[in-house]
Amino acid sequence: MSASNDGGPRGWLYERTGVDRVWDALFARKVPEAQGWVSWLYTLGSATLFVFVLQAVTGTLLAMNYVPSPDHAYDSVRYINTSVVMGHYLRGLHHWGASAMVVLVGLHMLRTYFMGAYKYPREGTWMIGVLLLVVVIGFGFTGYLLPWDQKAYWATMVGTNIAGQTPFIGPYLKKIFRGGPEMGAATMTRFYALHVLVLPAIVGALIMGHLFLVVWHGISEPPTRAADADAEKEPGR
């Protein structure tokens, strides 16, 4: 008897939502047979997804005690570190999770590049991936300012100055990022809104599109010499 008609609450839910099929397609999918450690490379996308979920959960919990204003941000982060139950652990997870996400997304991208997974018919998956990379870097840039310590302040000063060097639109970009000619309360409000509202909404939509295409096309096979020979006969594939 399948789970969808077992009569219990699980069957009730599966029959009405199809959530079991989505789960199977994403998490119970077969990884192509690859030699030894190579098969582990196929887990990098899921590892990135896991860290993303971890960032969302720890970020939400941090937001319950963080105050996004230049007067209180630094103290609220200190309060999280010293007085909130498990606060230092929570902040540590979010801090190191951010770096782990950049590393994992980079490795996942290298895996898909070197295995040729970006080729027909997966160009869309790759292009959404490129946007995801930009958004992940955006999370890092906007999040770095939030503790409002010296490192955060000067790193953002440098970052916004670099944006200011963009040909033609540079001065406008710098002003938009800073919320005015100088860095201050408006910069922090802007970065906070991007970090907790705008970027999560964008990344959520992009991940859904990315995963839809992964399920739609199925996972690519590791490249073989036979596949290379076929590609030579049929250029473009």
> By the criterion CB under 6 A, which residues form the site for ligand HEM?
42, 44-46, 48-49, 52, 105, 108-109, 112, 117-118, 122, 125-126, 129-130, 132-133, 136, 207, 210, 214, 219-220
Task: Indicate the residue among 42 and 177 with the shorter CB distance to ligand HEM.
Answer: 42
| Nearest-approach distance from CB 218 to ligand HEM, in angstroms | 7
**Closest Cα to residue 67, out of 147, 187, 177?**
147
Task: Indicate the residue among 136 and 152 with the shorter CB distance to ligand HEM.
Answer: 136
| Nearest-approach distance from CB 53 to ligand HEM, in angstroms | 9
Q: Are 144 and 156 in contact (CB under 8 A)?
A: yes
Residue 80 to residues 26, 53, 147, 230: CA-CA distances in angstroms?
35, 21, 11, 58
| Nearest-approach distance from CB 98 to ligand HEM, in angstroms | 12
Task: Indicate the residue among 59 and 147 with the shorter CB distance to ligand HEM.
Answer: 59
Neighbours of 144 (CB within 10 A): 17
| Nearest-approach distance from CB 184 to ligand HEM, in angstroms | 31
**Closest Cα to residue 206, out of 116, 127, 119, 122?**
127
Give, in degrees to the nearest 5, the angle at Cα 29 between 133 and 205: 35
Task: Indicate the residue among 12 and 216 with the shorter CB distance to ligand HEM.
Answer: 216
Q: What is the CA radius of gyration of the chain?
A: 22
| Nearest-approach distance from CB 96 to ligand HEM, in angstroms | 17
DSSP 3-state assignment of 199? helix
Which tokens hold the place of 13?
């839910």
Task: Indicate the residue among 42 and 141 with the shorter CB distance to ligand HEM.
Answer: 42
Return d(Cα 41, Cα 193) in angstroms, integer: 35
Quote the DSSP letter at residue 68: -
| Nearest-approach distance from CB 46 to ligand HEM, in angstroms | 5
Task: Indicate the residue among 50 and 79 with the shorter CB distance to ligand HEM.
Answer: 50
Task: Indicate the residue among 13 and 211 with the shorter CB distance to ligand HEM.
Answer: 211
State CA 160 to chain mean position distance. 22
| Nearest-approach distance from CB 21 to ligand HEM, in angstroms | 17
Per 3-state DSSP, the chain is made up of helix, strand and coil in percentages (nearest 5) of 75, 0, 25
